[in-house]
Amino acid sequence: MLSTLFSAGTRSENFVDITVPWWGWYMLLGVIGTLLLVDILIVHRRPHVAHLKEAAIESIVWVSIGVGFTFVIWAMFERAAAVEYISGYLIEKSLSVDNVFVWAMIFTHFKVPREYQHRTLFWGIFGALVMRALMIAAGAALLTNFAWITYVFAGILFFTGIKMLVGTDEAIDFEKNITIRLLRKVMPLTKDFHGDKFFVKQGAKWAATPMFAVLICVEFTDLIFAVDSIPAIFAITQDTFIVYTSNVFAILGLRSLYFALSGILPYFHFLKYGLGVILCFVGAKMALAHTAWKLDSLVSLGVITGILAITILASILHRRRELKH
C-alpha cells in the first residue's frame, strides 16, 4: 500500500530514479517509530527542562543519524541518490530554522512552562510527519501528471525567496489564528495549564487545555512552512523516497535543535537572507531542470553549502563587531 501511494513520483531523466521495494518503506516506518518511542518513553519519559548540554548532545545524535543516512542511500543505490538526499536534507534543515523562531514565539505567547514544551513538540513533529507524507505524495502525483506544475513550484520558491530578502518580520497574533478560533467554537478551552495534558474533564464535559491550543498552532505553522520547503526538495530530487527521508530526518531533530538554539537564534543576523538566496537558487534550478541549462546535483550541493557557510560566518562576524561597540 505504501509503495503504491508513493510510487507516483516523477520519473525524470534529470533526476535520480531509484526503486524501493514495499518492505523498504515499512522498514523506514519501523526505524522512525523506534526513534520516536525511544525519545518519548526513555529519553524524555518524565517532563523536565532540557538544558543546553542535553539539547546539544541530542542535536548531535539526530544530525548524525540524518547525515549518516546519506551513506545508507549511497550503499543501497548510487552516489547520485546520496547527493540528492544530503542536498535535500540540508535545505530542509536550514528552512526549518524558521520553525524554531515561531515555536519560541508560540511558547512565549501562551506562557508554556519549559518542562512541558518537549511533549508539545513531540506530538507536533509526529503530526508533521503524517502531513508531509500526504503532501509529498500529492506533490509527486501532480508532477507526474502535470508537467507545468514544475514551474508553479519554481515560482512559489522564487517568490518566497524574494519575500525573505526584501520583506520585514511581522508580529504574529496567535489569538487571530483561524485554528484557535475554530477550536474555541468546537469545545471549551481552560484558562490554566493542567500539567502536560491536552484535555481535562470538567464535570460531565471534556475541555481542551492551553497545551492543545499550542499544539494546534505548532501544527498550523508547520503546514504553512511545508508549502515552501516541500517544493524546495522537489527542486533537488523528484524521487519520493529521497524527498520523504530527507524531510523526516531533518525534522526529527528539530525539538532538540529548538532547545539548543532558541536563545541564540537572533544572533544569526544574515541567515534569513541566505535562506532567501537558496530558495531563489533552487527555484531557478527547478525551472531549468528540463532545459539544456540544467544543473548537476553536486553543483547544487556546493552552492547550497557555500551560501549557508557564508551567511553563518557573516552573522558571527557581525555579532562580534556589535559586541566590540
pLDDT per position as a tens digit, 100-112:
777 877 887 788 8
Residue 231 CA, chain-centre distance (Å), reads: 12
pLDDT band of residue 301 (cuts 50, 70, 90) is confident
pLDDT at 64 over 90: yes
Looking at residues 27-54, what average pLDDT do you find? Answer: 82
pLDDT band of residue 5 (cuts 50, 70, 90) is very low
Out of 8-22, 86-100, 235-249, least confident range: 8-22
pLDDT at 28 over 70: yes
Q: Which string of DSSP letters, residue by residue, matches 108-148?
A: HHHT--HHHHHHHHHHHHHHHHHHHHHHHHHHHHHHHH-TT
- Is 217 within 8 Å of 179 (Cβ atoms)? yes
Looking at residues 9-26, what average pLDDT do you find? Answer: 69
Q: Which helix (H) or strand (E) holds 208?
A: strand 205-208
Percent of the chain with pLDDT over 90: 7
For residues 158 and 164, give the distance between their C-alpha atoms in angstroms, rounded to a whole number.
10
Give the per-residue pLDDT at 1. Answer: 46
- Is 125 within 8 Å of 255 (Cβ atoms)? yes
pLDDT at 289 over 80: no
User: Of 11-20, 120-129, 146-155, 162-171, which has the strongest mean pLDDT?
Assistant: 120-129
User: Of 1-5, 72-76, 98-102, 113-117, which has the strongest mean pLDDT?
Assistant: 72-76
